[in-house]
Amino acid sequence: MCASTSSACRLVVLISGRGSNMQAIVNMVRGQALPVEICAVVANKVDAAGLEWAQSQGIETKSVAHRDFSSREAFDEALAAAIDAYQPDYVLLAGFMRVLTPGFVEHFNGKLINIHPSLLPAFPGLHTHQQALAMGVQWHGCTVHFVTPVLDHGPIIAQGVVPVLFGDTPSTLAERVLQVEHRLYADVVRWLAEGRVSLDTMQRVQVHGIASRSFVLTSTGVEPSQR
């Protein structure tokens, strides 16, 4: 847990592409002057577009190319060593397109957080928007959760929802979900920095002082849902 009253919450962000969620987090942290230090942005691709953006913001970057390693275990070991050098309080997966080994997940137990483009436990894995349309669901969304060794599984911190509209395609649905992702992940980072997030004895997330951990896309933007 980040002790925001005494020191900055140290974060390392992992990306594979342009890192739009990473950018939303950086902008929120700086816009709200939160006690957060984004120590580094790390990518598994040397040409990940998000690295250039992070560098332009004065954030340290590093690439650990998965293609340079003969096994997932070897890559994850090198990735963990790169992250450990920054001694982060939390490691944020923000469009990091790698299945992590159990050893890596256990190494960062309680510190590893992911955003997934579906309302987990529905539609784990890839092609979530296609899955949602194929199943005919009327609500879709995204989930921020603690990572466990089970793929796209773990204690849920917050979720955001969007309606599925007539004529939606995977791309139009993805665009609306991404709007919610940016607000959702940024708010979760703020809760982490404020030391609000904890796990109870049943491994359920508690966010102290927050009435609603669900967000909805409306005609005026993304807002916490009313209860």
Host domain of residue 81: 9-224
Largest CA distance in the chain: 51
pLDDT (tens digit per residue) in 60-85: 999 999 999 999 999 999 999 999 99
Catalytically active residues, by annotation: 116
Tokens of 43: 């990518």
* Assigned domain for 117 exists: yes
* Assigned domain for 4 exists: no
| Amino acid 5: pLDDT | 47
Structure pTM? Answer: 0.95
What CATH number is given to the structural domain containing 124? 3.40.50.170
Q: Angle 170-193/20-31 helices, nearest 10 degrees?
A: 40
| CB within 8 Å of 60: residues ≥ 6 apart | 39, 40, 41
* Assigned domain for 118 exists: yes
Distance CA 123, CA 117 (A): 9
* Assigned domain for 183 exists: yes
| Amino acid 93: pLDDT | 98
Domain count, the chain: 1
User: What is the distance in angstroms between the CA of the first residue and the CA of the last residue of the chain?
Assistant: 27
Q: Which residues of the chain fall below pLDDT 70?
A: 1, 3-6, 227
Region label for 163, one of left (φ > 0), alpha (ψ between -120 and 50) or beta (otherwise)? beta
Place of tokens 């140290």: 10
| Amino acid 219: pLDDT | 83
Distance CA 134, CA 172 (A): 15
* Assigned domain for 212 exists: yes
Region label for 13, one of left (φ > 0), alpha (ψ between -120 and 50) or beta (otherwise)? beta
* Assigned domain for 1 exists: no
* Assigned domain for 194 exists: yes
Distance CA 96, CA 199 (A): 24
